[in-house]
Structure 1
Amino acid sequence: MKAQWLLFFLLFSCAGTAWGQTCTYTVEPTVDFGSITGLPTPQIDVSADITVTCPAMDPPGERRVCISLPVGSGGVSFADRRMVNGGFDVQYQLYRNAGRTLVWGNVAGGQERILLFPLVGGTRVATVFGRVFSGQTGKSVGLYQSVLSGIEVREGTPMQLCSAITNIFILPDTITAQLDIQPDCTISANPLNFGTVNSVGVQDASSNLSVTCTLNGAYTIALDGGTTTGDVNDRKMQLGTDTIDYQLYSDAARTQVWGDTAGTTVDGTGSGDPQSIPVFGRVPAQGPKPEGTYQDTITATVTF
């Protein structure tokens, strides 16, 4: 009797799970840091959500979703994100955690956001935590933006590292980070002293206002009619019941009365630093007046 032997070669191959995009992604389009007035910037913390919904798998299986955010327009690197407005920028950052210690970047840098889904699927929210850093100065007024396009997602199994997942998609959605800087101004004034005279002839004097406004912020300065008459065209300094006529001008030739109505105010643009705005005064020749100190108080108003 002869024995016959049959040799069976059993072949087994193991391959990673492959599927198309099965989850849906809802991306909140704006990380809106709102509006601030003036500088320096305060620290501003806001957030936006990326909502991911994954169905149950057939055959059943758990799932790992990896989400990468790009640097964004205006940014230098993941560590140095910036919103821009013309030639100016504001530094900000996006994080994976509420404590804002883990920068949200990409898979290559190990800074992706990971969501895990059970066999039955479900919905998870990946919150984007944003921060504008405090203490930034020298910025122009205007809307600062950074557009993040090319949000990458990877769908794989829980056992796969994000870097090993080849099921990769780019979402059509974009996220815009933005901050609006509004102008702010402060104003201070120095006394205008016409000096001491023995007779009331023509007396010229000048002083200045100091105005500090946010860079490129438009402003308008008005001077009222004073506490004596309240009339821009009939300004007077007073001592008891006696008065001395005078006038304030915006030009050294003393032809443009500086008032508080359209066409009589002074316009300017902020530099971010104190600006000295001259005020030119004149006392015209007039009849004899009693001795003493004559005064009037003018209110300067800056509108921006």
Structure 2
Amino acid sequence: MEPTGQNPPQGNHTTLTGFILLGFSDVPDLQGFLFGIFLIIYVIILMGNSLIIIIIKVDPSLRNPMYFFLGNFSSLEICYVSVIVPRMLTDLCTQNRNISLLACATQMYFFLVLGATECFILTVMAYDRYVAICNPLLYPLIMNNRMCMQLAAGCWMTGIPAYIPFTYQIFSLPFCGSHQLNHFFCDVPPVLQLACGDTLMIEILIYVVAVLVVTIPFMLILGSYVKIISTILKLPSVTGRAKVISTCSSHLMVVALFFGSGIISYLRPKSSHSTGMDKCISLFYTIVTPMFNPMIYCLRNKDVIVALRKFLSKWIVL
């Protein structure tokens, strides 16, 4: 039997200068169709999140911690999808699927950093709702401007140093045999499939990082919402309960979509991985979820809807 975590050698070790991203080359007749679909989705993501950022900036009623973090989240979504989608659109359009090792490592690094940042910001947003609902009298004191800035900066900065050695370790592995990467971007699992030698330590490190960055924040969010729901049930006013539930439900939906797909992708057993399934899951948390997030926050938040109507009415009049 082969040792756990060791990929069998597929030939002589070679010094690779890059990979070929196979992407969706298995459906050649759909290249134009996929390009059009992904381009439309990308434009929707850019427009939807940019609109949220703008109305938060211009509307005085949205200048509070909750919408400050929502603005950060929308900015993050634009950066997050821009790491992957433009390159994918270029590959679909030009059919030039070559990517250098440096470009692949850079894409993976920024994807991991921004993914971790999203986990942290969603956790901070849950904490903000917990303080607002469970400790409303202390809310202005706890979530002051300085605290909000520190929390946001911590979310953006934490992953930057952490993923440099992680990415370096992956691309320090020897690669042998095929240099065809059967994915549409440089994600960790498909790159590891092309590595030779013992990858057990890297695989263990992936699980450790996934627990620290995905599982622990997810558990903190769940804990916050257990407290929030307990507090909501004690509210005497039905109208008050409905308003609080409406405010929190949009965040819960985003959390479920993002963390659910991320946990399935990185924490499920290696034996259950398949190329087609991995691509579908990756599409879900890299493109589909960011497309729905602005819609979720706009359609399920009355304050955002009112601010959006005011903003659009000004532009229509002009």
**TM-score under structure 2 length normalisation:** 0.17
Question: Whose radius of gyration is greater, 1 or 2?
Answer: 1
Q: Would you tell me which structure has more strand in proportion to its own residues?
A: 1
Q: Which has the higher contact order (CA 8 A, sep 6+)?
A: 2
Greater per-residue helix proportion: 2
TM-score, normalized by length of structure 1? Answer: 0.18
